[in-house]
Each structure stands twice: as C-alpha cells, then as structure tokens.
Amino acid sequence: MNLLREEALVFSAVEDRPTELFPPLLMEAFHGRCIETLKAMVQAWPFVHLPLGDLIDMPHVGPLQAVLEALDALLAQKVQSRRCKLRVLDLHDTGQNFWSMWSGASTHGCSSSRMAQVAEHRSMTKQHLAPFKVFIDLCLKKSTLDNFLTYLLSEMSNVQRLFLSHIHLPAFEKQEQGHVQITSQFLRLLHYRDLHLESPSFLEGCLDQMLRCLMTTLDNLSITNFQLTESDWIHLSQCPNISQLKGLDLRGVRLTDFSPELLHVLLEKVADTLQEPDLSQCGIMDSQLEAILPALSSCSQLRSFSLCGNLLSMAVMEKMLQHTTQVDSGDLSFRGPGPVVLQRCKKEDSV
C-alpha cells in the first residue's frame, strides 16, 4: 500500500520486491489507476506473460495506456532490467477469477495449468533477442471496431505481420459484408509487410475490398486453402501494393479449371522481386504450367519454386528448368509433384 501511495519511490523499490508481490500489486495498481506504479512494474515484470484481459476497464484507457507506454520504453532499452522476463502481452479473457487466484485473494476458479504458463519466469535467458508477442481475441461480427480495439490498434502502428486463419461464418451471414468491413478497418490502422490468409472463406468474391485498404507495399503475401474467383484474381493482379512481393504462397488454391492468363499477369507484375513462389497442391496440369513458363523466365530473383502435389510430367518439369537457365540467382530448387527434387545449381555446375 505504501508503494501505491508513494508512486515516486516505486521505480527504485520495485527491483527489490519479492516476486510473489507483483501479481497482487499490479492488480491493485490497475484498479486504483496508479499510472507510475504500473509503468514501473511492467518494466520489471518477472514473468514471461502479462495477462491483462480481465483487468482492462474501458472506457478508462489510462492504465492500458500506461502499460503500452512502459512496453515502448522497455523495447527501446538496449539493456533490460535484471528482473524483467516479459515477452508476451496477453489480452485474452483468462477467466473471471484468474487474477484473484493468482494474487492470493481467492483459492478457487483458476486452472493450475494456466497459472503455471503465466508464472514460467525462468524459461528464457536472452529475452532481449526474442520477438515480443501480443495475443488478443478479435470479434469480426460488428460493422465497426469497439473502443478498446480501436485504441489498441492506434497504439500498435509498428505491427508488420498479420495472420488470419480459419474464420468461418454461418450460411445466413455470408451475404452480409460486415465481416469484410471490419477487416478493412483493421488493415487501415496498421502498416503490414506480411499478410497471411489461411482458409479466408469470408473473402470469397470480395478480396479487392481487403487489398485496397493496404497502406504499405507487401513483402510477402500468403493466401492458402481457398478458392479464388476470377474477379479475385483480377484484383490481385492489379493491386499496386503487391508489385514488390518477395514471397507468394498460394498453396491449396485450386487451379484445376483455371485459365492461366491471370496467373501469368500476376507473375509478370512481381517478376523483378519474386523469390519464393509456392503453388503446391493447386491441381496444376501440364498445359497450365507451360502457359506460365514465359512469366517464370522473367522472374530474375527466383530462389525456389514449389509445385508439390501437382500431377506434372517429367518432360514439363525439365522444360521449366530450361526456361529458368537465364535466372541469375545462384541456387534455384524446384520441389516437384513427388519426393523428387529437381535442382538447378550455379551455372557452372550440372543439373
């Protein structure tokens, strides 16, 4: 209680406090909106996880703002506090009694496995070398972002990688576009370099609504296990934000009855930068691969090209190697339809 009342002393005092004191003190500091105490505790947090989901009380953003400011300062430090082990800001809903249990104010209501996960504070020895992670539950059903998510995303302007995986909607909701609108708002607020969409069924026929909201040029784009419509392909090939792609992952995008001209256009658009295209499990046939070979031959930076799971003849695979003999990229490997790997090494070596 003295630490909460005398916030000016907390920065020097918190380094020497027992580890067991941190959970109850942080809980009290959050409820009492003791800003300086919160900042000091975050920068000396002796656990890997900091689970705040149940403590955040909107619209009072002061405590959350203090935590995020402390994280900014922490990540900017070349040498961290000797006690700090924090690498994960967890904004999940951990359960109503989690903090009461962890702080010692309750004896039930929180699973021991969840507490062990948060309290694992000696498992990382070089925290400053590891990436910092933020976990949050997102609801994409509303047409606008709630206040908490909007505030968090203004504050997280340096996020560069987004994964959206297996987002499914009931059949009666598929005609509504609220899910696309919410995703578009999400994209506008951040500046991504890598965008990964796994089984994004909610984007079928409206991929353009998402792509046109991108604020930066992408380095890597992954759209996997999804059926792109012809309009999706057209918008994808015309999107200005993909002109400098290094990685293009289209695994599981079925191309069995697909006209290859649009893929040809897409490959030509990224020919100067593309390094690692992946067309595994796409149902590509010989005629389709032959149709895009001229575009592949113009990709001067290729390092690898994956075609795993496609039924292709060895004759067409060899023709593909011939079309890339002018690629000046050092080593170039092709992962073919089976376990066989065709690899074209440096020009002076044999194939």
332 compared with 330, residue with greater pLDDT? 332
Q: What region, left, alpha or beta, does residue 311 occupy, with left being phi > 0 and alpha being psi -120 to 50 degrees?
A: beta
User: pTM of the predicted model, to two decimals?
Assistant: 0.69
For the chain, what percent of residues have pLDDT higher than 70? 67
pLDDT band, residue 177 (cuts 50/70/90): low
Whether 109 has a pLDDT exceeding 50, the answer reads: no
Beta bridge partners of 334: 305, 342
pLDDT band, residue 113 (cuts 50/70/90): very low
Whether 93 has a pLDDT exceeding 60, the answer reads: yes
Q: How does strand 133-135 pair with strand 161-165?
A: unpaired
Sheet of 341-344, strands arranged across: 161-165, 194-198, 220-224, 247-249, 276-278, 304-306, 332-335, 341-344
282-324 per-position pLDDT tens digit? 999 999 999 999 998 899 898 888 888 888 898 998 888 887 7
222-271 per-position pLDDT tens digit? 999 988 888 889 999 999 999 999 999 999 998 877 888 999 999 999 99
pLDDT band, residue 339 (cuts 50/70/90): very low
Compute the mean pLDDT over every residue in the chain, rounded to the nearest whole number: 75
CB under 8 A, 24+ apart: contacts of 14-20:
14/40, 14/41, 14/44, 15/44, 15/81, 15/82, 15/83, 19/46, 19/121, 20/104
**What pLDDT does 245 receive?**
95
Residue 238: phi and psi, rounded to 5, are -100, -5
Q: Which of 147, 152, 5 is CA-nearest to residue 71?
A: 152
Q: Give me the DSSP letters along 277-295.
A: EE-TTS---HHHHHHHHHH
- The encoded tokens of residue 320 equal 């593909």
**What pLDDT does 122 receive?**
42
**What pLDDT does 271 receive?**
94
Whether 119 has a pLDDT exceeding 80, the answer reads: no
**What pLDDT does 269 receive?**
94
Distance, in Å, from the CA atom of 139 to the CA atom of 307, rounded to the nearest integer, reads 36
Identify the residue whose tokens are 């044999």. Answer: 350
**What pLDDT does 288 receive?**
92
Distance, in Å, from the CA atom of 37 to the CA atom of 298, rounded to the nearest integer, reads 59
For the chain, what percent of residues have pLDDT higher than 90? 16
Distance, in Å, from the CA atom of 100 to the CA atom of 30, rounded to the nearest integer, reads 13
Q: Give me the DSSP letters along 158-197.
A: T--EEEEE-----GGGTT--HHHHHHHHHHHHS--SEEEE
Distance, in Å, from the CA atom of 131 to the CA atom of 329, rounded to the nearest integer, reads 30
Whether 54 has a pLDDT exceeding 60, the answer reads: yes
Q: Which of 121, 115, 120 is CA-nearest to residue 101?
A: 115
Q: Are 201 and 167 in contact (CB under 8 A)?
A: yes
101 compared with 21, residue with greater pLDDT? 21
Question: Beta-carbon neighbour count of residue 215 at 10 Å?
Answer: 12
Q: If 0-12 CB within 10 Å is exposed, 13-18 middle and 19+ buried, where does residue 21 land?
A: middle
DSSP state of 129: G
Q: Which of 90-99, 157-166, 289-298 has the highest mean pLDDT?
A: 289-298
Whether 331 has a pLDDT exceeding 80, the answer reads: no
When mean pLDDT is compared across 20-29, 263-272, 322-331, the lowest value belongs to 322-331
Q: Which run of H or of E encompasses 335?
A: strand 332-335
55-81 per-position pLDDT tens digit? 876 667 788 888 989 988 888 877 666
